[in-house]
Structure 1
């Protein structure tokens, strides 16, 4: 399950809201491949992996590496 955050921002006189995942919320900081978070200390969670955790493993958790994806 991905953790989401409600984010508010103001443009002129309008208030907008959106829901962002933790990866998107902290994506302004360039983390090493396979990691995310405020200090880039968190490995991608299954089934995600790779740069910004945007790729998806098509294998079970025990075979999914948070950096490189599915292992043989």
Structure 2
């Protein structure tokens, strides 16, 4: 039996909550999303990658360092 995830990236039901967590904490890391949302590594990685695609989070170059946030309009 294959594991089915409801949504991927921006379609994930937890995406908006993940964005709120990143904005509130002013950093983005896999561990932060895992702990706050009680999810696994793979799902947190997909959520974080989706944020990079929306220019909310800067692309990371080292896995262990939290990613920088890119300033944006709060209405976005």
RCO greater where, 1 or 2, for CA within 8 Å and sep 6 or more? 2
Higher strand share: 1
Tell me the TM-score normalized by structure 2. Answer: 0.27
Q: Which has the larger radius of gyration?
A: 1
